[in-house]
C-alpha cells in the first residue's frame, strides 16, 4: 500500500483501524467505491457508495440512466440503467448522495455533481441500478423456454445485453404465435399464468403485442422497461409443430383451457367474435370444433377484451355444424367493439347417461345438504339466486322424496367444483331440475352462494297452504298444494273472509288480502278462484267456489295475504256474511 492509496482511504484515523476493518473483513476500500446489494442477482439491486468510512445509499432525486451507466462502468460493467426504489430493498445506513447529475463521461460516480452530504431524502428513495452483462446487442431478442414439463412449453425468456429475463404481461394471442415461430415451431398459445413458474429476475419487456405477422418477437409492439414483473404475470407459452388453418378457433384468457374469450384464426391472424346473436347453440358448435363438450356462452362483460380484428359478427349456427365457419355469420369489418367480444365455456367430458342427476353433500344426514348436479360427467353446485322452496321441492322430488325446502347457502358447506346452474326457476310441476328454466352461465356466482335442500318423504296433504315471497313470513303470495303440486289462488272475488280462513288454516288468527299490485304473481297452476268462504271453514279448499272462473283468471293477479296473530275484537263481519 502506498501513500496515495492511504490518502484515498482518507477517513481512517489509524492504520490499526484500517487493518482491522479492511484487511480482515474485505479488500481495500476507497472513498467512492460502489457496490450492489441484492438478494437475487449481483448485477441488479440497491446502489451503495463507500463514503466517509461507511457504506451508504444514493437518493433517487434526479438519478437517471446516464448516472446508472457511470455507476455500472465504475463497477466494471459496460453500462446499465436505473432501477426505481420501489423495486429494490431499502437501506438503513447514511444516505450519502442526492441530486446526482452525471454527464456520462465521468469514471466515478463520486466525480459527478451531486448534493454531497446534504439530502432531503428517506430510505424509501434509495436508488437501484441494473448493470448490463454485455454491451453487445447481437443476441438481443433471442428467446428460450424455461421450466416447462416438455421442451416446447414453459416460461418465455428473452435475452438483452447478455442476460436472460422474462416477458411481463403479453397482451394478445398473436404474440405467442410470433414467439413460437421464432423458436422454430409452427404455432402456439399462451399458458394460463398458474401454469407458469414465476421468475424473480428481470422482466425485459412489458405489454408485448404482436399482430402475428412480425418477423421476430422484438419487432412486436412492447415497452422496454427492465424491472421485475409483478407475479404472476411472467408469460409462459406452449408451442407446437401443428400449424394453424383458417377457421381454427381457441379460447383465451380463461381460468383453464376449456373456457375464455373466443378467437378465430382468419387471414393469418387471430381475432375475436362479436356477441350479437351468439347463443348457447353457437357455443356448442365451438366446443364440438375444439373436441370438447357442452357449450355455454360467457357474456362479453365477463371476458377480457381482445385486441385484434373482430373477425365475426351475427354468428347463427343450426347446431349441427362441426366448424364455426360453417355457421352463418357476417365477416369483417363488423360494427362491434371489443367490449362485445364473446366467451365460451366447454366441458372436457361427454355427457353420461345419468346427465342431470342430483346428490346431497355434507348434510347432517342423507336427506339434506348442499345440492349438486352431474353434468358432462362432472359434479357441480347450484347458485342460490332465485332458488326457493318451489325449486327445492322439484329437486327433492327428483331425488325420490315427496317434499322439501331450501337450506340457505349460509348454512351449507361451500362446494369447490364447477357452479353448474344459476337463476333456477321452476314452475313446481317439473320432475327434474333440468326441466326448470335456468342459466348455465354462472360466472357471476361464487361458492359462498351454493344452495342446499332439506328433503322429506312426507308429502303435504292436499289443500295445504303456504306463503311465498313476502317481506315477512306472515305474508306473501298464497299457494295451495293440490294434486301433488303447488299452485296459486285467483284474486277475483277474494275478500277479507277468505283471507281470514287462509290465515287461520296457517295458524294465525286473522288476515287481510294484500293489494294485488304488491304481490309477485306465481308461475304454477291456478288452483282456486272465485272463493266464497262463509267464515266457518277450517280449510280454504272447503270453501265454496263460483263455478268455472279459473279460465277467467289470466287477467287477474294471484292472491296475497297478510296474516296476524291478533284476533279481531269481534267476529262482526263473519256474522254479517253468515
Ligand atoms: C462532464 O463533466 C466533466 C466534469 O465533471 C467535464 O470535465 C466534462 O467535460 C463533461 N463532459 C461533457 C461532455 O460535458
Ligand atoms: C414448474 O416447476 C416444477 C418444479 O420445478 C415443474 O415440475 C413444472 O413442470 C414447472 N411447470 C412449468 C409450467 O414450467
Ligand atoms: C425486426 O427487428 C430487428 C431488430 O430490431 C430489425 O433488424 C429488423 O429489421 C426488424 N424487422 C422488420 C421486418 O421490421
Ligand atoms: C401444451 O399443449 C399440449 C397440446 O398441444 C397439451 O397436451 C399440454 O398439456 C399443454 N401444456 C400445458 C402446460 O398446458
Ligand atoms: C363445413 O364446411 C366445409 C367447407 O368449408 C365442408 O367441407 C364441411 O362438409 C362442412 N361441414 C358441415 C358439418 O357443415
Ligand atoms: C373438493 O371437495 C371434495 C369433497 O367435497 C374433496 O374430496 C376434494 O379434495 C375437494 N377439492 C379441492 C380442490 O379442494
Ligand atoms: C323433462 O325433460 C325431459 C327431456 O329433457 C322430457 O322427456 C320430460 O318430459 C320433461 N318432463 C317434464 C315434466 O317437463
CA of 354 to the centre of ligand 7 (A): 14
Confidence bin at 19 (pLDDT 50/70/90): very low
Is 425 inside any structural domain?
yes
Q: Quote the pLDDT of residue 9.
A: 40
For residue 17, pLDDT beyond 80:
no
Q: How far is the CA of 18 from the centre of ligand 1 (A)?
A: 33
β-bridge pairing 269-273 and 259-266: antiparallel
Q: Which of 323, 346, 369 finishes a domain?
A: 346
Cβ 448 under 6 angstroms from ligand 1 = no
Which atom of ligand 3 approaches the CA of 216 most closely?
Answer: 1
User: Within this chain, do residues 260 and 226 fall inside the same structural domain, yes or no?
Assistant: no
pLDDT of 548 higher than 80? no
Nearest ligand to the CA of 238 is: 4
pLDDT at 290 over 70: yes
Express each pLDDT in 152-161 by its tens digit: 999 999 999 9
> Among 273-282, 398-407, 509-518, which is the least confidently predicted range?
509-518
What is the percent of the chain with per-residue pLDDT over 90, rounded to a whole number? Answer: 67
* 416 in contact with ligand 6, CB cutoff 6 A: yes
Best CA proximity match to 169, nearest among 141, 128, 204: 204
276/342 Cα distance (integer angstroms) = 9
Q: Which ligand is nearest to the CA of 199?
A: 2
* Ligand 4 surroundings by CB, under 6 angstroms: 153, 191, 195, 238, 240
Q: How confident is the model at residue 3 (pLDDT cuts 50, 70, 90)?
A: very low
Separation of 416 CA from ligand 6 center, angstroms? 6
Q: What local confidence, expressed as pLDDT, does residue 4 receive?
A: 41
122 and 162 belong to one structural domain? no
Residues 6+ apart with CB under 8 A from 150: none
Q: Which residues partner with 293 through β-bridges?
A: 347
**Is the CB of 547 within 6 Å of ligand 7?**
no
Find out whether the beta carbon of 538 lies less than 6 Å from any atom of ligand 6: no
Distance CA 513, CA 237 (A): 66
**Mean pLDDT of the region 483-490:** 86
The CATH number linked to 300 is: 3.10.250.10
Please check whether residue 352 lies inside any domain of the structure: no
State the pLDDT at residue 10: 36
Distance from CA of residue 131 to its chain's centroid? 38
Residue nearest ligand 7's atom 12 by CA: 430
CA distance 521 to 556: 10
Give domain status of residue 137, yes or no. no
Are 118 and 160 within 8 A, CB to CB?
no
The string of pLDDT tens digits covering residues 124-139 is: 999 999 999 999 989 9
For residue 351, being part of any structural domain is answered with: no
Which residue would you say has higher pLDDT here, 429 or 557?
557
420 pLDDT above the threshold of 80: yes
Q: By C-alpha distance, which of 354, 372, 348, 374 is closest to 362?
A: 372
CA of 326 to the centre of ligand 5 (A): 6
For ligand 4, atom 8, the nearest C-alpha belongs to 238
For ligand 5, atom 8, the nearest C-alpha belongs to 326
Determine phi and psi for 340, rounding to 5 degrees: -105, 10
pLDDT at 478 > cutoff 80: yes
Contact 77, 133 (CB under 8 A): yes
Q: What is the mean pLDDT of residues 245-259?
A: 91
pLDDT of 260 over the 60 cut: yes
Mapped to the 3 state alphabet, what secondary structure does 461-518 carry? CCCEEEEECCCCCCEEEEEEEECCEEEEEECCCCCHHHHHHHHHHCCCCEEEECCHHH
Pick the ligand that lies closest to the CA of residue 213. Answer: 3
Long-range contacts: 106-114, Cβ < 8 Å, 24+? 106/70, 107/70, 107/73, 107/74, 108/32, 108/70, 108/74, 109/32, 109/34, 109/49, 109/58, 109/67, 109/70, 109/71, 109/74, 110/31, 110/32, 110/49, 110/51, 111/32, 112/67, 112/70
Q: How much is the average pLDDT of 211-236?
A: 85
- Per DSSP, helices labelled H in 235-388 are 280-289
Last residue in a domain, options 320, 346, 372:
346
Q: Are residues 57 and 176 in the same domain?
A: no
Is residue 509 pLDDT above 50, yes or no? yes
Rank 19-28, 110-119, 222-231, 558-567 by mean pLDDT and report only the highest: 558-567
Ligand nearest to the CA of 413: 6
Q: Is the CB of 322 under 6 A from ligand 5?
A: yes
How far is the C-alpha of 5 from the C-alpha of 15, rounded, in Å? 12
Mean pLDDT of 488-496: 89
Please work out whether the CB of residue 107 comes within 6 Å of at least one atom of ligand 1. Answer: no
pLDDT value for 227: 76
In this predicted structure, what is the pLDDT of residue 11?
A: 38
Q: How far is the CA of 105 from the centre of ligand 1 (A)?
A: 6
Residue 67 to residues 125, 470, 509, Cα–Cα distance (Å): 15, 72, 88
Q: Do residues 121 and 25 both lie within one domain? A: yes
Q: What integer pLDDT is reported at residue 408 of this predicted model?
A: 92
Give the count of domains, the chain: 5
Are residues 222 and 273 both part of a single domain?
no
For the chain, the residue count is 578
Residue with the smallest CA separation from ligand 4 atom 7 is 238
* Atom in ligand 6 nearest the alpha carbon of residue 417: 1
Label the pairing between strands 163-170 and 203-209: parallel
Residues 141 and 216 sit within 8 Å (Cβ to Cβ): yes
28 and 117 in a common domain: yes
C-alpha cell at 266: 382468419
Which of 346, 379, 402 is where one domain is finished? Answer: 346
Residue 245: Cβ-neighbour burial (10 angstroms; 0-12, 13-18, 19+): exposed
Give the number of other Cβ atoms within 10 Å of residue 209's Cβ: 16
Backbone angles phi, psi at 84, to 5 degrees: -60, 150
Separation of 231 CA from ligand 2 center, angstroms?
16
Task: Say yes or no: 426 and 315 in one domain.
Answer: no
Residue with CA closest to ligand 6 atom 2:
416
Domain assignment present for residue 136? The answer is no
Distances in Å between the Cα of 571 and the Cα atoms of 474, 506, 509, 533, 541 are 21, 19, 11, 14, 21
Tell me the C-alpha distance between 566 and 555, whole Å: 33
Cα 143 to middle of ligand 2, angstroms = 18
Asked if 472 and 445 sit in the same domain, the reply is no
pLDDT at 567: 86
Average pLDDT on 412-432 reads 90
Which ligand 6 atom is nearest residue 361's CA?
5
- Whether residues 423 and 494 share a domain: the answer is no
The CB of 105 under 6 Å from ligand 1? The reply is yes
pLDDT tens digits for range 291-329: 999 999 999 999 999 988 999 999 999 999 999 999 999
Cell of 552: 277467467
Domain match, 13 and 96 both: yes
Say whether both 342 and 367 belong to one domain.
no
Lining residues, ligand 3, CB within 6 Å: 215-216, 218-219
Is residue 449 domain-resident? yes
- Residue nearest (by alpha carbon) to ligand 2 atom 12: 148
Peptide bond just before 255 cis, omega within 30 deg:
no
Say if residue 393 is in the same domain as residue 492.
no
- The alpha carbon of 219 and the centre of ligand 3 are apart by a number of angstroms equal to 6
CA 257 to CA 238: how far, in whole Å? 12
Note the ligand closest to the C-alpha atom of 196: 2
Question: For a pocket test of ligand 1, which of 74, 104, 105, 110 has the largest count of ligand atoms closer than 8 A to its C-beta?
Answer: 105
Per-residue confidence (pLDDT) for residue 8, from 0 to 100: 41
Average pLDDT over residues 389-407: 93
Q: Which structural domain range is residue 25 located in? A: 3-131
42: left (phi over 0), alpha (psi -120 to 50) or beta: alpha
Query: Measuring from atom 5 of ligand 7, which residue has the nearest CA?
Result: 435
d(CA 145, CA 139): 16
Pocket test residue of 266, 326, 331 for ligand 5, highest count of atoms within 8 A of CB = 326
Which residues are CB-contacts of 105 (< 8 A; sequence separation ≥ 6)?
A: none
Give the chain's mean pLDDT.
Answer: 88
Query: Which atom of ligand 4 is nearest to 149's Cα?
Result: 13
| Residue at 442 is within a domain | yes
d(CA 82, CA 265): 41
Q: Which of 431, 434, 436, 523 to mutate to test the pocket of ligand 7 (most atoms within 8 A of CB)?
A: 431
Looking from the CA of residue 431, the nearest atom of ligand 7 is 13
> What does the angle CA 560 – CA 565 – CA 571 come to, to the nearest 5 degrees?
90
Of 301, 266, 295, which Cα lies nearest the Cα of 282? 295
pLDDT score at 24:
42
> Is position 353 within any domain?
no
Amino acid at each position: 500500500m502506498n501513500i496515495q492509496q492511504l490518502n484515498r482511504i482518507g477517513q481512517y484515523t489509524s492504520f490499526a483501524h484500517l487493518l482491522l476493518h479492511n484487511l480482515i473483513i474485505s479488500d481495500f476500500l476507497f472513498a467512492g467505491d460502489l457496490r450492489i446489494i441484492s438478494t437475487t442477482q449481483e448485477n441488479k439491486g440497491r446502489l451503495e457508495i463507500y463514503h466517509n468510512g461507511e457504506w451508504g445509499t444514493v437518493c433517487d432525486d434526479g438519478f437517471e440512466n446516464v448516472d446508472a451507466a457511470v455507476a455500472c462502468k465504475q463497477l466494471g460493467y459496460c453500462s446499465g440503467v436505473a432501477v426505481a426504489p420501489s423495486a429494490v430493498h431499502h437501506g438503513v445506513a447514511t444516505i450519502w448522495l442526492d441530486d446526482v447529475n452525471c454527464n456520462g463521461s465521468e469514471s466515478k460516480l463520486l466525480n459527478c455533481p451531486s448534493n454531497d452530504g446534504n439530502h432531503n431524502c428517506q430510505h424509501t428513495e434509495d436508488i437501484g441500478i441494473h448493470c448490463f452483462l454485455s454491451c453487445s446487442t447481437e443476441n438481443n431478442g433471442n428467446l428460450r423456454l424455461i421450466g416447462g414439463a416438455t421442451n416446447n412449453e414453459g416460461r418465455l425468456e428473452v435475452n438483452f445485453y447478455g442476460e436472460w429475463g422474462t416477458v411481463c404481461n403479453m397482451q394478445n394471442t398473436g404474440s405467442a404465435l410470433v414467439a413460437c415461430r421464432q423458436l422454430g415451431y409452427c404455432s402456439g398459445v399462451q399458458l394460463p399464468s398458474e401454469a407458469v413458474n414465476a421468475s424473480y429476475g428481470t422482466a425485459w419487456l412489458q405489454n408485448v403485442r404482436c399482430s402475428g405477422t412480425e418477423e421476430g418477437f422484438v419487432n412486436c409492439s412492447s415497452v422496454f422497461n427492465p424491472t421485475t414483473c409483478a407475479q404472476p404475470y411472467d408469460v409462459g407459452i406452449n408451442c407446437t409443430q401443428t400449424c394453424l388453418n383458417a377457421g381454427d378457433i381457441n379460447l383465451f384468457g380463461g381460468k383453464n383451457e376449456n373456457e375464455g374469450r373466443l378467437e378465430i384464426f382468419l387471414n393469418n391472424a387471430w381475432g375475436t367474435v362479436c356477441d350479437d346473436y351468439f347463443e348457447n347453440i353457437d357455443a356448442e358448435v365451438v366446443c364440438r370444433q375444439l373436441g370438447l363438450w357442452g357449450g355455454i356462452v360467457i357474456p362479453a362483460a365477463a371476458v377480457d377484451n381482445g385486441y385484434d380484428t373482430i373477425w365475426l359478427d351475427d354468428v347463427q349456427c343450426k347446431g349441427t355444424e362441426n366448424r364455426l365457419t360453417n355457421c352463418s355469420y357476417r365477416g369483417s369489418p363488423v360494427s362491434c367493439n371489443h367490449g362485445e367480444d364473446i366467451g365460451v365455456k366447454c366441458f372436457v367430458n361427454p355427457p353420461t347417461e345419468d346427465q342431470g342427476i342430483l346428490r346431497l353433500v355434507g348434510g347432517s344426514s342423507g336427506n339434506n345438504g348442499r345440492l349438486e348436479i352431474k353434468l358432462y360427467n362432472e359434479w357441480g353446485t347450484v347458485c342460490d339466486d332465485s332458488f326457493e322452496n318451489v325449486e327445492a321441492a322439484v329437486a327433492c322430488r327428483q331425488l325420490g322424496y315427496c317434499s322439501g325446502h331450501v337450506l340457505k347457502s349460509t348454512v351449507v358447506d361451500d362446494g369447490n367444483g364447477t357452479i353448474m346452474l344459476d337463476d333456477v326457476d321452476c314452475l313446481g310441476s317439473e320432475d327434474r331440475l333440468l326441466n326448470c328454466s335456468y342459466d348455465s352461465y354462472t360466472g357471476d356466482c361464487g361458492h359462498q352462494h351454493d344452495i342446499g335442500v332439506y328433503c322429506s318423504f312426507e308429502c303435504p296433504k292436499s289443500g295445504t297452504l303456504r306463503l311465498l315471497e313476502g317481506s315477512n313470513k306472515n305474508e306473501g303470495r298464497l299457494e295451495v298444494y293440490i294434486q301433488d303440486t303447488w299452485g296459486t289462488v285467483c284474486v277475483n272475488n277474494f275478500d277479507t273472509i277468505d283471507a281470514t280462513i287462509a290465515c287461520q288454516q296457517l295458524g294465525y288468527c286473522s288476515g287481510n288480502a294484500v293489494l294485488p299490485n304488491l304481490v309477485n304473481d306465481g308461475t304454477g297452476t291456478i288452483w282456486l278462484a272465485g272463493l266464497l268462504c262463509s267464515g266457518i271453514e277450517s280449510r280454504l279448499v272447503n270453501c265454496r267456489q263460483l263455478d268455472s272462473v279459473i279460465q277467467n283468471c289470466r287477467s287477474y293477479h294471484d292472491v296475497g295475504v297478510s296474516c296476524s296473530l291478533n284476533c279481531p275484537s269481534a267476529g262482526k263481519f263473519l256474522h254479517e256474511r253468515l
